[in-house]
């Protein structure tokens, strides 16, 4: 379970309906300075704070004689500051912002097809520093979550894994918290980076924090497999050997070095996971024992010979330009990259060993709309969620895809 220090490290916010404070002045006239404007709550230092004094004058008059009966001066600063003090002293968590990182598959072996139609896999998953931010706020509603996002095309209903995760948590725990959620999307969709799965895991973690950690991390991990095969991985410490459909997760005691730079290149076109698996034939997969690959990575680090992805051949059939991108990246980056490979079912190509893409990515019109970002491996501490790595201006992700802003 998460520690109280983790919970209490987040600011508390409370909504405030100003009109309720004037309910006794129904016949009053109010004079509000024209310059007065509520600031965005996110700019408040603590709950509600104002940098200058704003007064509201309320005057009640006798409608027959027109004589003034009483005049009240209402100090918004003082009232809101008192409310903030009450929130600090009496309220529980009401708002939480979490980092939702994505992952790459250092190697991905498909070892068989199951009777339920899924495939068995064996893969080394690792969390990386590219990720979304998700803001959760408690909603007064007891029936509906509300999701917004900064990019078009992302479902906002129960087709979204965030909403599915919150519904799952309520069903498993009997809690009745509903949320306003804003998803600040940085991870491209259809990329093989597990962005949606990470969002779902982050939502489960957040719901558990708001509920006082009624569930253990192990329970969250087990429950999450009901809505997605990749979601349980994110409840590891950031590096894990995953088998089954991906839901059997074994933490790697010695993660990959966190200072190894990566570059991610994703064309605008996405790879349909269903279409990639439809074209997969087991006789074209590698015959290397995945445990041998894991041992090599653990002993020697990442090299091209261990970065095997059995989904590359069918993905390259679905999107031939992806094969050409990988070949060009490998050829141009000889001596620059330790390995070049596709993550998941595509369409992201990963270069390991340098954060810089080759020059052709900038020069060729074919790649003018690609998503491009540098990254590194990250992990998380026990009983804490993943945190975003601060990056200086020279190493901020560069994004050229029109679908991700």
Q: Give yes or no for a contact between 144 and 170, defined as CB atoms under 8 angstroms apart.
A: no
Catalytic residue among 164, 185, 186, 230: 230
Q: Give yes or no for a contact between 369 and 400, defined as CB atoms under 8 angstroms apart.
A: yes
d(CA 352, CA 264): 9
d(CA 109, CA 286): 7
Q: Enter the tokens of residue 377.
A: 């491996």
CA 77 vs CA 23, 49, 296, 324: distances in Å: 19, 7, 63, 62
First to last CA, the chain: 35
What residues are paired with 58 via a beta bridge?
30, 72
**DSSP states of 46-58:** SSS--SS--EEEE
Q: Enter the tokens of residue 145.
A: 């979550």
Please count the other Cβ atoms lying within 10 Å of the Cβ belonging to residue 319.
19
Core vs surface per residue 104-121: b (16+ CB within 10 A) or e: bbbbbbbbeeeeeeebeb
Is residue 103 part of the annotated active site? The answer reads yes
Q: Give yes or no for a contact between 338 and 352, defined as CB atoms under 8 angstroms apart.
A: yes
- Cα 48 to the center of its chain, rounded Å: 27
**DSSP states of 321-370:** HHHHHHHHHHHHTTTT-SEEEE-TTSS-EEEES-SPPPTHHHH-GGGTT-
What residues are paired with 146 via a beta bridge?
180
φ, ψ for residue 231, nearest 5 deg: -65, -45
Active site residue ranges: 103, 230
């Amino acid at each position: 379970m998460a520690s109280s220090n983790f919970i209490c490290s987040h600011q508390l916010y409370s909504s405030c309906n100003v009109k309720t404070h004037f309910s006794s002045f129904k016949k009053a006239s109010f004079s509000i300075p024209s310059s007065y404007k509520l600031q965005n709550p996110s700019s408040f230092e603590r709950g509600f704070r104002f940098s200058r004094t704003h007064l509201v004058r309320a005057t009640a008059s006798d409608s027959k004689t027109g004589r003034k009966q009483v005049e009240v001066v209402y100090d918004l600063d003082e009232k809101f500051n008192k409310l903030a003090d009450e929130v600090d002293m009496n309220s529980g968590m009401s708002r939480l912002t979490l980092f939702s990182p994505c992952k790459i598959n250092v190697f991905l072996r498909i070892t068989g097809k199951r009777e339920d139609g899924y495939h068995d896999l064996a893969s080394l998953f690792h969390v990386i520093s590219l990720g979304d931010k998700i803001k959760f706020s408690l909603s007064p509603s007891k029936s509906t979550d509300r999701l917004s996002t900064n990019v078009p095309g992302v479902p906002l209903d129960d087709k979204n894994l965030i909403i599915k995760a919150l519904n799952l948590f309520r069903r498993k725990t009997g809690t009745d918290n509903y949320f306003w959620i804003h998803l600040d999307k940085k991870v491209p969709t259809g990329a093989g980076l597990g962005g949606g799965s990470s969002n779902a895991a982050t939502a489960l973690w957040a719901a558990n924090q708001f509920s006082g950690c009624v569930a253990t991390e192990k329970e969250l991990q087990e429950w999450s497999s009901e809505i997605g095969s990749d979601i349980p991985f994110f409840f590891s410490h950031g590096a894990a050997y995953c088998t089954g459909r991906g839901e059997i997760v074994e933490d790697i005691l010695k993660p990959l070095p966190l200072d190894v730079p990566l570059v991610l290149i994703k064309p605008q076109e996405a790879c349909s996971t269903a279409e990639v698996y439809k074209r997969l034939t087991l006789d074209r997969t590698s015959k290397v024992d995945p445990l041998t690959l894991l041992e090599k990575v653990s002993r020697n680090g990442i090299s091209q010979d261990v970065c095997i992805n059995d989904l590359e051949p069918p993905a390259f059939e679905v999107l031939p330009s992806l094969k050409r991108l990988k070949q060009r990246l490998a050829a141009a980056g000889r001596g620059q990259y330790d390995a070049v490979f596709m993550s998941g079912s595509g369409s992201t190509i990963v270069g390991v060993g340098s954060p810089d893409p080759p020059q052709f990515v900038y020069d060729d019109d074919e790649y003018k709309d690609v998503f491009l970002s540098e990254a590194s491996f990250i992990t998380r501490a026990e009983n804490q969620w993943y945190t975003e790595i601060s990056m200086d201006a020279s190493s901020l992700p560069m994004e050229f895809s029109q679908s991700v802003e």
